[in-house]
Structure 1
Amino acid sequence: MIRVLVVDDDPLVCAHLEAVFGFADDIEVVGEAYDGAAALESVLRHRPDVVLLDLRMPGIDGLAAIPRIRAVDPPPAIVALTTFDSDHHIVRALHAGASGFLLKTTPPRELIALVRVAADGHTVLSPTVSRRLIETAADRHVTRGETLARLAALTPRETDIVACLGGGMSNARIAARIHLSEGTVKNHISQILAKLHCTNRTQAGLLAQRAGLRPPRPAG
């Protein structure tokens, strides 16, 4: 079962999401919280696999709660859930450590599918959030040259892998593309995150996008 915590200051939204996930045999809503402080307490109590976190809440909002939840060991996947899709909020949520960004208007069937993807460790974005929002989700005060200098710490193999992360590829796709096992790819990604001081693969992928890296072409 995929354990989901729903965090939103509107109880009706929480009830709606719980009803949606009631149609999925492999997803269980283990708790609800109505602000960022309660969200952290609920994460520690219920140990969810995925946290659906509203960004705008009174008191400690979602953006402030993300790094606190990420500090839990092991951390759950955090998916920002909101009614708006501005570049600014996507940037802040992803750089804070969120694994994805879904609009509350995401259709129920797609929402269920995307929560499964998030639980599997992959980045998720609502289909209505265009690819442009990822490609521009970079700190505009940092130049491409400075980003390339940061990526220079990586080996050629790690550079290929981080380029694949920038392309939104899963571990399985990366493994097939560069002819490694999924386990080896996972180990490489852990080393990449440490070298780049990134919280998750989404942040590393944003660096690759900013630097203009492209995944290597398939062999043959």
Structure 2
Amino acid sequence: MTVRPSIPAPRPREETAAVPDQTTPNPFEGFPQPAPAVPLRVVVADDNPVVRAGLTALLSGRADIAVVAEAADGRAAWEAAQQHRPDVVLLDVRMPGVDGLSALPYLVRIAPVMMLTYSSESEIVQEALRRGAGGYLVHGEFTADQLVTAVRDIKEGRPHFTPTAAGALVARLRRDQPVEGAIAHDHTFPTSHETATSAQHLSQLQSDVGQSLSGWTGGRPAAVDRSRFQLSAREAEIMDLIASGMTNQQIAATCFISEKTVKNHINRIFAKLHSTSRSEAAAKWLGTAPGSPRGLG
């Protein structure tokens, strides 16, 4: 009997990971890759540290905006703009040392500038625009979302004005607009071309202002809804002074009360505003805190 040798069963084939051929060209090589989004860079210039902190917190809370520097006066704003080369500068008017209007012509050479201020006088609005401001927002007339939209639009060259600023601009345009058929100071009539050109200029600017106002609550100031805080008249007065940057000693002198009384009022104010610091309370009072239902005061 012949014994045949046994044949071992074949081993299961081991699976090996496919190794790409290093000589095969990458089919995606040479295609442009999407660049990471670069946030819009902003410099905030205001002499009130509470306002600066509130604006910085509000804007920095947006994914596409970064506050790269803060400044307390016009010179510091110019130095910050020189260093950081921002996309937009938010500029207050009244500041110690070099004020906003004085710094404005130098700042606009670096970046678009939007005035963001309590100063609503017609002459100041007009002078700011004459010196190159790309927009003019008056505190208390816009919401937090409107501010963010304005910052984005200013970068793209789209102007924004709150109602008070827009009213000042339109009033000036109407005052400068020659009336058809009226006798000029030199007793000559404007030519039809001059009248048409001026009217076209006024129409275009009024259109720009109208577009700017289209999102600003129908052209009416968007006052901050502070009634929800249920502050007394005295507490509201003191909260206004806190938001303006006053110390307890200054508030006591202004209101003719003791510092102890001021502290008692502030404790009650903090409780009603659910805040633990002056900056947090001021941000809620001014409308700059994230989630504030109505704008900035």
Q: Which has more radius of gyration?
A: 2
* Structure 2: distance between partners of 1:10 and 1:118: 23
Distance 2:165 2:113 in 1: 20
**Aligned equivalent of 1:48:** 86
Residue matched to 2:76: 38
Mapped to 2, the partners of 1:59 and 1:139 lie a distance apart of 35
The separation in 2 between residues aligned to 1:91 and 1:162, in whole angstroms, is 15
State which of 207, 213, 217 in structure 2 corresponds to 1:167.
Answer: 207
Distance verdict in 2 for CA 1:99–1:130, change over 3 Å: closer
Q: Deviations over 1:42-95 (max 9, x none)?
A: 11101111110000001110011101112x3xx311111111322111111111
Q: Where do 5+ consecutive residues of structure 1 fail to align? A: 171-220
Displacement after TM superposition at 1:137 (Å):
3.1
Distance 1:161 1:143 in 2: 9
TM-score, normalised to structure 1, is 0.63
Pair 165,139 (structure 1): closer, same or farther in 2 beyond 3 Å: closer
**Structure 1 residues 162 and 48, CA gap change in structure 2 (3 angstroms):** farther
User: Is this contact kept in 2: 1:90–1:137, CA < 8 A?
Assistant: no
Structure-to-structure mapping, 1:1-220, within 5 angstroms: 1-70=39-108, 72=109, 75-105=110-140, 106-126=142-162, 128-129=163-164, 131-138=166-173, 144=178, 163-168=203-208
CA distance in 1, matches of 2:161, 2:105: 19
| 1:139/1:51 CA distance change after superposition, 3 Å | farther
Question: Given residue 66 of structure 1, which amino acid in structure 2 is its aligned partner?
Answer: L
Task: Give the superposition deviation at 1:38.
Answer: 1.0
Query: Which residue number in structure 2 is paired with residue 184 of structure 1?
Result: none
Per the TM alignment, residue 133 of structure 1 is displaced from its structure 2 partner at its CA by: 2.1
Aligned length, in residue pairs: 163
* Secondary structure at 1:80 match in 2: strand
The answer to whether the 8 A contact 2:122-2:165 is kept is: no
Structure 2: 5+ residue stretches without partners: 1-38, 185-189, 212-297
Quote the Cα distance in structure 2 between the aligned partners of 1:69 and 1:23. Answer: 25
Q: Is the 8 A contact 1:79 1:102 kept in 2?
A: yes
Q: Aligned partner of 2:123: which letter?
A: H
- TM-score, length-scaled by structure 2: 0.48
Shift of 1:161: 7.9
- Higher strand residue share: 1
Q: Distance between the aligned counterparts of 1:97 and 1:130, measured in 2?
A: 15
Percent identity reads: 34
The whole-number CA distance in structure 2 between the counterparts of 1:94 and 1:14 is 23
Give, as a single letter, the amino acid of the residue that structure 1 aligns with 2:167.
R
